[in-house]
Amino acid sequence: MTTIPGVMVDLNYRQKGGIPVALYHDVNIIPPVLLVDDQIWDLKDIDLINPSDIAQIDVSKGPNIFGMKGGGGVISIFTKTIDDYKDNYNALNIKSISPLGYQQSVEFYAPKYDTPEKRNATVPDLRTTIHWQPVVQTDEQGEASFDFYTADDPATYTIIIEGVSDDGKIIHYRGSSSIIVK
């Protein structure tokens, strides 16, 4: 058995059916400082820490940054981060995702060619994202349509349609179309 003030580490705890670390307080001994993720905790609150959440424990005695308060040593407990848990879930055929959630839609800027002057302008339209429409309503047959102006360069356009139906089904379509601008 190994001891330092306020802490007892029993290396034979398995044979005895106990736990490896026990904290005790002797009125003649200064209690150790408890640090959890670099925050000072009251020693009696150590039971609030779930042992499976602990990544590392460092125990030190002797002179330290706490001066007289740390005369009984320091118990530093570091809990696991989200990255520590990710490694446990790399099972075959399982993918962890973190959805971004819903966002309020914003208006997408699209030029309006509603006059002959705008349609015949000499400034080229070189946009790379041609159209974005956050809400598309379908008719009774489940069909929808929308119109948009293309850019001036001949190109192959990638069409991506994503959404969620009223009953929660995910909608995804990806296709391409060559459009020749004259």
Is the model's pLDDT at 182 over the cut of 50?
no
Give the mean model confidence (pLDDT) for residues 137-166: 82
Is the model's pLDDT at 28 over the cut of 70?
no
Tokens 């706490």, located at residue: 66
Q: Which residues contact 55 (CB under 8 A, 6 or more apart)?
A: 78, 79, 80, 81, 84
Q: Kind and range of the H or E element at 112? A: none
Tens-digit pLDDT profile for residues 82-97: 777 665 555 566 666 7
Tens-digit pLDDT profile for residues 40-66: 998 788 878 888 888 888 888 766 777
What is the dihedral sign for C-alpha 163, 165, 171, 175? Answer: negative
Q: What is the pLDDT of residue 36?
A: 92
Q: Which residues contact 179 (CB under 8 A, 6 or more apart)?
A: 150, 154, 155, 156, 157
